[in-house]
Structure 1
Amino acid sequence: MAESWTIALDRLRVVDADEDDFWSDGDEPYLITIGFRSRFRTPGSTSVFWSGVLDDDWADGIDSGESKAIPRNQGTVTFGGIDRPTQAEVLAGQFPELVGAIVLTFESDATPFSAIRGLVNDLIAAARTQITRLVEQGNLNLANPQPDIDAAVRNIRAAVEPSTLEAIGLFLQSWGDPDDLIGMTPLVFAAVDTSMTLPIPVLADQDLNLRFHPSGVDYRLTGAVSHRPDGIGWESLGGILTSGPGAASWAKNRLDLVGRGQDNAVWHRWWNGSWHDWESLGGIVTSDPAASSWGKGRLDIWARGQDNALWHKWFDGSWHDWESLGGVLTSGPAAASWGKGRVDVFARGQDNALWHRWFDGHWHNWESLGGVITSDPAVASWGPGRLDVFARGQDNALWHKWFDGSWHNWESLGGVLTSAPGVASWGPNRLDIVARGQDNAAWHRWWNGSWHGWESLGGQFSSGLDVASWGDHRLDVVGRGLDNALWHGWFDNGWS
């Protein structure tokens, strides 16, 4: 489950100050917390970041035996979208991340911020070089990581400790008393499930107690590592739905949503930079409607009619009347397109198997794809000749069947579903699944070369969910809320 993790240092206690003699006003330390994350053996995954705050006034002359609260903008780093794989997922080839912080403290003696900022920039560059080498390039010895980490810290420290000429400059700039580096401590965690035992600390909720103890100085920093599920800010789009919704997109920044209204007709609203009001598309439907698109300006709406047949309505600049495509459906339909002029439609038949028909210039007859499903199906395509179909099985788990030139057997993807699933793809080899869980919240899992575990997106729903994508790293999730209105949440490189 994706999570946000925070490393927060909240209090500094000075046991023995650097400047605590009769003539001193006490220490005025800088505290710099630089965050980093990098995925094992994954080129381009390393990031090193800092809030850019330099302030030595927060401590305002702290003497031995005193303590001060650390401002959040100096002592805190946050990591969003952390996925902690299980041991089984790691053994299956999913590379975990290494996350953490480099904590630097030094005592200020009126050196200009510009000079200190230069040292911080050196620190960021040195940290990025060392983390890339150890983690991204796979040079960290996981069986005995501490020597590698210690060597990296020495390299980083060497990069930020001033040369003789720089020290002379700092000496002159600070009126004869150069700043003193109190210490540098790395906090390093492997972002894996806490059930795993590793020779490197595993990311988990915990207290932090750091000590900086060079000759004659003793600083103590306390704080904590904590987490929360990544949030998603659901918004209401109103309406009164008597079904679950369907969603589709025909272009970037375009989203079309459909649902059954109190009059059993299909109702439609859409986004193209702003939300448009609900409009009726007529018909009398007895299932959740579905939507699909095969290109810009094309929208197809599908639903089961009063005669249990598949009914279809489409837009290609103007709306066309409903038409019957036959069959005897015992569920709502699902549809997807892998190219212009091609659409594939799926539904549950009277035998509870999955049935399929398709259009590629003319309609082909219904065919059975087997299985025993207990919900509406869902389908997406990530490229020409590729279809991925999902449904809830008799065991309430998510089941999957796919076509890549021929049909493959059903496979179970686990979970406990209380609704039909929804699925979308934003590009080749990417699938995102949503469904309602036992807690009535939206749950999500995804494929990007391997399957990731279920994560909760929160919310409270009284229907199945659907999802659409209008571009790379964009998802729009919709469902009927407990108030029967349409609710919407979205992902655009992070959940809203």
Structure 2
Amino acid sequence: MDLISNVGGDPAAALNADGRIQVFFRGSDNALWYIHNQGLLYEQYTQPTSLGGAIYATPSPALDGSGRIVVAVKGGNDTLYTIQQKSWNSADTWEAFSSETTGVTSRPTATLDASAHVQIFYRGSDGAAWRVGQRPDYDSFETSVSLKGQILGEPTAFLGQDGRVHAFVKGANEKALWVAVQQTENQPAYLDFQNLGGVIGDVHPQAVIANSDNLLYVFVQGSGTAKSLWLLRQVWA
């Protein structure tokens, strides 16, 4: 099904509070655009709508605990911006872009913690992994905090069965898979990175999912000419 044209980068999707699919993408004009289902007719989509701005990486949307989608984007001058729906389930009414921090050198990755607050991870200009978390009111973000380490590309993160967020990165030196885990549920502090081993290929860790027992499975591309698909099951604490 051909939905639209003039897409300038990879799309990213999130569910609206009523279950409609909302798809965000960088347009050929570098602005942030979206489409969504018409009502609950899942095979019919709206015409594209521009949210403006100028973005330089794939957007990262997440539906927070207030019922509003937050989209994290990398803007000009390596600045992290967020844009949020004005109210619960307001698919077509949005706040203005908000500047959260600078020194962002990768695509930002948004995920939810156990309280359904948005956590945004990115690679900083110092090569370390960084995080910025949504405040309790769901309306703004706290000051960004370094998770340290030296990483390649963007981090990815997933909520584990213990209620803690697990942030995965590709190490800068040995290109192994590393993970940093929240010290306790819904708290800002993270444990030091643990080396999970392996040698990751040309891509970065993205595919993380919980199995039926809520243990995390991480799929990565291996190094070498074979470009094999590798699976790591959760054994870390």
Q: TM-score, normalised by structure 1?
A: 0.38
Report the 3-state secondary structure (helix = DSSP H, G, I; strand = E; otherwise coil) of the residue aligned with 2:153: coil
Structure 1: state its 5+ residue gaps.
Answer: 1-234, 452-496
Once the two structures are TM-superposed, the CA of residue 304 in structure 1 deviates from its matched residue by 1.2
- Cα distance change on mapping 1:248 and 1:393 into 2, 3 Å: farther
Instruction: Give, as a single letter, the amino acid of the residue that structure 1 aligns with 2:206.
Output: G
Distance 1:253 1:340 in 2: 20
Q: Deviations over 1:413-465 (max 9, x none)?
A: 52533233324545773335455667898957364x559xxxxxxxxxxxxxx
User: In 2, are the aligned partners of 1:241 and 1:262 still within 8 Å (CA)?
Assistant: yes
- Cα distance change on mapping 1:313 and 1:396 into 2, 3 Å: same
Instruction: Give, as a single letter, the amino acid of the residue that structure 2 aligns with 1:379.
Output: A
Q: Deviations over 1:25-45 (max 9, x none)?
A: xxxxxxxxxxxxxxxxxxxxx
Distance 2:66 2:196 in 1: 34
Once the two structures are TM-superposed, the CA of residue 269 in structure 1 deviates from its matched residue by 3.4
Report the 3-state secondary structure (helix = DSSP H, G, I; strand = E; otherwise coil) of the residue aligned with 1:374: strand
User: In 2, are the aligned partners of 1:353 and 1:370 still within 8 Å (CA)?
Assistant: yes
Once the two structures are TM-superposed, the CA of residue 347 in structure 1 deviates from its matched residue by 1.1
Q: How does 1:151-170 map to 2 (within 5 A)?
A: none
Q: Considering only CA atoms, is the larger Rg found in Structure 1 or Structure 2?
A: 1
- Cα distance change on mapping 1:441 and 1:252 into 2, 3 Å: farther
Partner of 1:445: 231
Q: How large is the RMSD of aligned CA atoms in angstroms?
A: 3.5
Once the two structures are TM-superposed, the CA of residue 350 in structure 1 deviates from its matched residue by 1.2
User: In 2, are the aligned partners of 1:385 and 1:404 still within 8 Å (CA)?
Assistant: no
User: In 1, are the aligned partners of 2:200 and 2:220 still within 8 Å (CA)?
Assistant: no
What is the count of residue pairs matched by the alignment? 216
- Cα distance change on mapping 1:258 and 1:446 into 2, 3 Å: farther
Once the two structures are TM-superposed, the CA of residue 264 in structure 1 deviates from its matched residue by 0.7
- Cα distance change on mapping 1:390 and 1:349 into 2, 3 Å: same
Distance 1:409 1:256 in 2: 33
Partner of 2:9: 243
Once the two structures are TM-superposed, the CA of residue 301 in structure 1 deviates from its matched residue by 0.4
Distance 1:297 1:336 in 2: 14
Partner of 1:366: 144
Partner of 1:312: 82
Distance 2:32 2:9 in 1: 10
**Selected match of 1:357 from 112, 128, 132:** 132
User: In 1, are the aligned partners of 2:201 and 2:227 still within 8 Å (CA)?
Assistant: no
Question: Is the counterpart of residue 331 in structure 1 residue 115 in structure 2?
Answer: no
**Selected match of 2:181 from 392, 402, 426:** 402
Report the 3-state secondary structure (helix = DSSP H, G, I; strand = E; otherwise coil) of the residue aligned with 1:307: helix
Distance 1:338 1:322 in 2: 22
**Selected match of 1:264 from 20, 23, 30:** 30
Once the two structures are TM-superposed, the CA of residue 396 in structure 1 deviates from its matched residue by 3.6
- Cα distance change on mapping 1:274 and 1:404 into 2, 3 Å: farther
Question: Is the counterpart of residue 386 in structure 1 residue 164 in structure 2?
Answer: yes
- Cα distance change on mapping 1:418 and 1:243 into 2, 3 Å: farther
Report the 3-state secondary structure (helix = DSSP H, G, I; strand = E; otherwise coil) of the residue aligned with 1:376: strand
Once the two structures are TM-superposed, the CA of residue 310 in structure 1 deviates from its matched residue by 0.7
User: In 2, are the aligned partners of 1:338 and 1:383 still within 8 Å (CA)?
Assistant: no
Partner of 2:54: 284
Once the two structures are TM-superposed, the CA of residue 286 in structure 1 deviates from its matched residue by 1.7
- Cα distance change on mapping 1:430 and 1:237 into 2, 3 Å: farther
Partner of 2:201: 417
Structure 2: state its 5+ residue gaps.
Answer: 185-189
Q: How does 1:178-327 map to 2 (within 5 A)?
A: 239-249=5-15, 254-270=20-36, 273-277=42-46, 278-295=48-65, 297-315=67-85, 316=87, 317=90, 318-327=93-102
Once the two structures are TM-superposed, the CA of residue 297 in structure 1 deviates from its matched residue by 3.7
Once the two structures are TM-superposed, the CA of residue 339 in structure 1 deviates from its matched residue by 4.4
Higher relative contact order (CA 8 A, sep 6+): 1
Q: TM-score, normalised by structure 2?
A: 0.73
Distance 1:246 1:367 in 2: 25
Instruction: Give, as a single letter, the amino acid of the residue that structure 1 aligns with 2:14.
Output: A
- Cα distance change on mapping 1:311 and 1:442 into 2, 3 Å: farther
